[in-house]
Structure 1
């Protein structure tokens, strides 16, 4: 029984972390967000809602400076103040913002938001259990190996989610007659907008796929759709 104690403790820790993280995220978003009121973006949201046969899509502005979009575990969609300010200054178009909203809707529809919270807790559990076990076998380096393995797993799962949300957004934008060009043009801008320097980092270490790989995946989808429509 004792040999299973680290795993049991890790599972209990994961459950506690999941509930705490969900509560902390909800409290933070409630305290620092307001509902989107921009008329032009609301019209684009209405087109997305119509394409999904929904009465409306609510989007909130999350009052932080980093450029990002967020799908909360409870299904709400957020655009950061930093992203919205880029739009207000003309650095990002309305259609490009609509592509962000469509992408985050993809995370919600595909269950990524809630699963990421669960995965995060599970990865922490795995990290803790591996650190306990490997720390005994390989003192000094066991904890480092455990952290590296957990980080690699998290990055791989996150990249897969991003590809799936991109595909959902491409289909939704096409159905809403907004199109995918804004989605692809935003990808080309993201590194400059966010200050990221991911081009020098191996793709398998990134939580998001590389820009050209994301664009290529969307163009492959478009080619398949075109082939189907011509048959």
Structure 2
């Protein structure tokens, strides 16, 4: 029992880390956000709420500069100030912003937000526990191997979540009368908007799928739904 104590302590620390991270994230979002009120976006959000048979979808502006959309573990949707400003400047259309909201709603509906918080908050503890086990067989290499293995696993899980949220968003956008064209158009803009430079990085190391893969997946859905010809 004693020899397993370090591993048990690492797992306990992971649980404590998750609880603290969730509390800190909720506090940060509440302190630095305000509810969105936009004359062009509001009607689109109402259309999506109607399609989901919801009385209202609350979207908040999170006061940070990076371009991003967020789905908190409590189900609230956030657009960053940096993303919203790109929209106000005309770089992103209202329909394209609606596709971001639909995507984040997908993360909430499919349980990704809460699971992702658990995944990422517990990573350090899992990495430590795995390193302890591997070091018994490969002294000095346990930390390196466990870190690489967990990074690959989390990237794969994240990419899977993104495809699922894309599909959810596509269905919601079609049902809302917005359509998938804005969703695909935004994919083409994301790299420029975020300043991402992932072309030289292997696809399996990226936390998000490649743009062309995401668009191809949406186009397959359109064909399956009879929206376009095969």
Shift of residue 118, structure 1, vs aligned partner: 1.2
Secondary structure of 1:226's counterpart equals coil
- The two structures have a TM-score, normalised by structure 2, of 0.95
- The two structures have a TM-score, normalised by structure 1, of 0.95
Q: 1: distance between equivalents of 2:57 and 2:119?
A: 27
Shift of residue 136, structure 1, vs aligned partner: 4.3
Structure 1 unaligned spans of 5+ = none
Aligned to 1:25: 25
1:154 aligns with 2:151: no
Q: Deviations over 1:106-138 (max 9, x none)?
A: 000001000101112343332011222233443
Aligned to 1:128: 128
Secondary structure of 2:40's counterpart equals helix
1:212 aligns with 2:218: no
Structure with a larger share of its residues in helix: 1
Q: 1: distance between equivalents of 2:121 and 2:188?
A: 32
2:7–2:132: 8 Å Cα contact kept in structure 1? no
Shift of residue 91, structure 1, vs aligned partner: 0.1
Q: 2: distance between equivalents of 1:124 and 1:225?
A: 42
Equivalences, count: 229
Shift of residue 7, structure 1, vs aligned partner: 2.7
Q: 2: distance between equivalents of 1:31 and 1:222?
A: 40
| CA root-mean-square deviation | 1.5
1:164 aligns with 2:159: no
Structure 1 segment 74-93 matched on structure 2, within 5 A: 74-93=74-93
Shift of residue 141, structure 1, vs aligned partner: 2.8
Q: 1: distance between equivalents of 2:128 and 2:183?
A: 39
1:110 aligns with 2:110: yes
